[in-house]
Amino acid sequence: MTICVASATSHAATGTVTLYDGNIPLVTLTLQGNGCYNGWYITPGLKAGLHVFTAYYGGDGSNPAGYSPQYPITVTLSPMTMEASCWNDTFAYGANYYCNANTDSGPKTGYMTYVYDGGAPVVLPLNAGGATAFTILKPPVGSHTVVISYPQQGKYAAPAPVVYHFTVTGATDIVSLAPSTWNPTTVTHVELSAGVASPSAGAPSWIGAITFSDLFNGSTTVLGTVPVNALGKCQYWASNLAAGTHVITATYVGANYTTNSVSITLKVVGAAAVATPTFSPAAGGVFTTAQTVSLLDATAGAKIYYTLDGSTPTTSSALYATPIQVTSSETIKAIAAAPGQANSAVATGAFTILLTAGAPVLIPPAGSYVGAQVVTLTSATAGATIFYTTNGHNPTINSTPLANGGTILVSASETVKAMAYELGYGASAVSTAVYTIH
């Protein structure tokens, strides 16, 4: 900076001048022999903004004191440039996203920031070379944006930010499936073990689930859906597969992973059935007394399950352990089951219990009597009706009826034959009494 004082006389100005920035004195300089001061530098540099400079001359014996005109100067921020590089533009889930950045001109100090998908700025201190780097760990599937900036710091203006766009695709995965047996029967419980692996992201730890489906006879049935564990694995138990060819498919679906599946083929054969249970005594007859029924099966180790209410038995029905007491007509249904074999066919045994009514008792009993007798006919079966004859023929339900405990008059020698009958009972034996009347 050069400051000169124009002399008002023939004498060059001497003395001092003071330089002001606004009302702040910056320096006081002694004029050189020509009334000027040459080569003064403002250091450190001025801050950005408007500065108004004024010089005040203190005067000497020949020249009066006074102020110079104001000199406005606008100071702008120093320009600078930066550069950054990031990779890759597109990659599968599981990898990291990397970026480097550095100042290209200007200071090598301070910091930069980056903003990931519109989030809060992350501060990155610069190293001694004015460079920095950062890593975004395993960004999820989708399109993403990173904005890298050098904010205005000190006397340096912020350069235009660097913007990068990148896309993350679903992780490629491999689904595996294996059965507990390749030769199941219709009664085998098949454990289906499935797992997921990925070259880029590794196994999905507690992420997503595997759906098991069964293609059989042209129709597909979903067996079940099971979440994967920390190792990306799960199991499903398939039961009661019908005989024939089954195509079992395991399909994995999980966030940030591609949907993938694998299929295996199982040929299921029919299991040998357990022998059908039998009854002792044999079912189907009519019994006049209560029966003790035993259930038998020819298959060693088989367990028998039964019902008494007419329903079809299952392995959840009553387990046979001791003979069944049948005191009234009923139907027993039974199946037998044994490990590794199909359940037996259902055995049905109808037992009809038809108890006979108590034979009538005649009081007084048969014998010789003087004079007519009033004979009482009684059956031990309550509610039974008694049918009787006095002509020597065996009675039927069409014979003369008499209420249980009723009486008849025997006034002449004759033979009384009687039987008792009640609904739900068989006819009793015939009771015969010969009376001789004198």
- The string of pLDDT tens digits covering residues 28-50 is 999 987 889 988 888 877 888 89
Domains 81-169 and 174-268 share a fold: yes
User: What DSSP character marks residue 340?
Assistant: T
DSSP assigned state of 413: S
pLDDT, residue 156, reads 86
At 146 the pLDDT is: 98
Taking the C-alpha atoms of residue 295 and residue 278, their distance in angstroms, rounded to an integer, is 6
* Residue extents of the structural domains in the chain: 3-75, 81-169, 174-268, 278-353, 361-437
Among residues 272, 280, 273, the alpha carbon closest in space to that of 320 is found at 280
What strands, in cross-sheet order, belong to the sheet with 367-369?
367-369, 431-437, 414-421, 385-389, 400-403
Would the CA dihedral through 195, 200, 205, 208 be positive or negative? negative
| Conformation bin of residue 309: beta by default, left when phi > 0, alpha when psi is -120 to 50 | alpha
Parallel, antiparallel, or unpaired for β 361-363 and 373-378? antiparallel
pLDDT at 305: 98
Q: How far is CA 176 from the centre of its chain?
A: 20
CATH topology of domain 174-268: Immunoglobulin-like (2.60.40)
- pLDDT for the residue 315: 95
pLDDT at 47: 85
Q: Which residues of the chain have pLDDT under 70?
A: none
DSSP conformational letter for 426: B
Amino acid at 117: D
Q: Has domain 81-169 been given CATH number 2.60.40.1930?
A: yes
How many CB atoms are located within 10 Å of the residue 31 CB?
21
Q: Which of 378, 401, 375 is nearest to 388 (CA)?
A: 401
361-437: which CATH topology? Immunoglobulin-like (2.60.40)
CB 134 within 8 A of CB 124: yes
Tokens of 130: 């004015």
278-353: CATH number: 2.60.40
